[in-house]
Structure 1
């Protein structure tokens, strides 16, 4: 799962990033609306954590842009502006939830789980490919009821491939989904993640194959 934190208080944003990365999230930060807009246009995100008081305006001004370009993208506002009218305004403007600072990190994770469940209520929460079962809500992969032990980047690769199963995913698209802005990506780093992921899927008898399209990208095949 890839998250964009839009927050200008560096210490607070770093604290959130550390907590999220411990849970195997890929995290990017933006400290102003303009930077967040650019990131949202170029990146593939599963969630946005959005502060309201930013150097270049109210973070809520980003919501219409996000809703137009990424209609189903969950957005949780994190703000010290906690009056009833502030919360109502945030929700009416399109936020999925509104969390008042200061807050407990465990509550933040509970809110994240809640907003990510909502789209799944419209359809299946699980994707089945071969013997592999992918839990979209909880970002978990299993075979025969046994959860696969994947690193956060291996999980992110699998997430993208599973959601586009049977279709070729460009190498550049995978790299954008897997790595944050500040990550130094070596030319063979993605290949290493995919190699380890292939091995784990084979050992688990997942009945799927990650097929390389030379010079283009990868696709996930159902072998069952």
Structure 2
């Protein structure tokens, strides 16, 4: 998954980003609202972690604009404010959850997983399709009953496809989902990961179809 972290405390941002990247997620970090708006305008995110008190304004104004633009990206508000009225205000503006600093990072990760499951309308952690059992949370893949090891980006690429079988993803769309803004990505990076994933799925009934000039699609063989 790809997250946008909007947080001006560099130490906290580094801690959150490191934990999320260890789980295989891609994290873009904005230290202020101006940068956050640019990220949202040019990127596609699965979840936004939003601080309230930022150098150039109130994060709730960002949240208000975000929802007014009909963007449905889930948002978890992170703030030192603990008053009930603050929590209610953020939730009424469209926040999906609210965590008061300091918080436990394991709890934040659990809340992220819960929100993402609700978003995909999938209360189970595993996805089963075409002889494949995939658990993106645990990072486990079984193909024809055999456990297959995946590297982080292979895992997240498979997650994208497994959550939307039959949907076409362009190379630029996949690149945007797999890499952060600061990553130095070669032109053939997506082709390399697609090739690796095809090998991992070779014993299953699933295959990744290349639609030349358009993109890639996960298909189940007849």
TM-score, normalised by the number of residues in structure 1:
0.86
| CA spacing shift, 1:133–1:61, aligned 2, 3 Å | farther
Secondary structure of the residue aligned to 1:166 is coil
Count of aligned pairs: 221
Secondary structure of the residue aligned to 1:173 is helix
Secondary structure of the residue aligned to 1:196 is helix
Q: Indicate the residue corresponding to 1:45 in structure 2.
A: 45
Aligned-residue offset at 1:23: 1.0
Q: Indicate the residue corresponding to 2:216 in structure 1.
A: 218
Moved more, 107-116 or 94-103: 107-116
Moved more, 214-223 or 157-166: 157-166
Aligned-residue offset at 1:136: 7.3
Q: Indicate the residue corresponding to 2:175 in structure 1.
A: 175
| CA spacing shift, 1:81–1:175, aligned 2, 3 Å | same
Aligned-residue offset at 1:162: 3.0
Alignment partners' CA distance in 2, 1:194 and 1:122: 25
Secondary structure of the residue aligned to 1:70 is coil
Q: Which runs of 5+ in 2 are unaligned?
A: none
| CA spacing shift, 1:195–1:36, aligned 2, 3 Å | same
Does the 8 Å CA contact 2:3/2:45 hold for their aligned counterparts? yes
Q: Indicate the residue corresponding to 2:207 in structure 1.
A: 209
Aligned-residue offset at 1:134: 4.8
Aligned-residue offset at 1:21: 0.6
Alignment partners' CA distance in 2, 1:84 and 1:55: 24
Q: Indicate the residue corresponding to 2:71 in structure 1.
A: 70
Moved more, 17-26 or 81-90: 81-90
| CA spacing shift, 1:69–1:155, aligned 2, 3 Å | farther
Does the 8 Å CA contact 1:3/1:48 hold for their aligned counterparts? yes
Aligned-residue offset at 1:190: 1.4
For residues 19-53 of structure 1, the C-alpha deviation after alignment (integer angstroms, 9 at most, x for no partner) is: 11111111111111222122123222111110001
Secondary structure of the residue aligned to 2:49 is strand
Q: Which runs of 5+ in 1 are unaligned?
A: none
Secondary structure of the residue aligned to 1:219 is strand
Alignment partners' CA distance in 2, 1:189 and 1:100: 39
Q: Indicate the residue corresponding to 1:9 in structure 2.
A: 9
| CA spacing shift, 1:142–1:96, aligned 2, 3 Å | farther
| CA spacing shift, 1:123–1:99, aligned 2, 3 Å | closer
How large is the RMSD of aligned CA atoms in angstroms? 2.5
Does the 8 Å CA contact 2:139/2:150 hold for their aligned counterparts? no
Alignment partners' CA distance in 2, 1:121 and 1:214: 31
TM-score, normalised by the number of residues in structure 2:
0.87
Q: Indicate the residue corresponding to 1:91 in structure 2.
A: 91
Aligned-residue offset at 1:16: 0.8
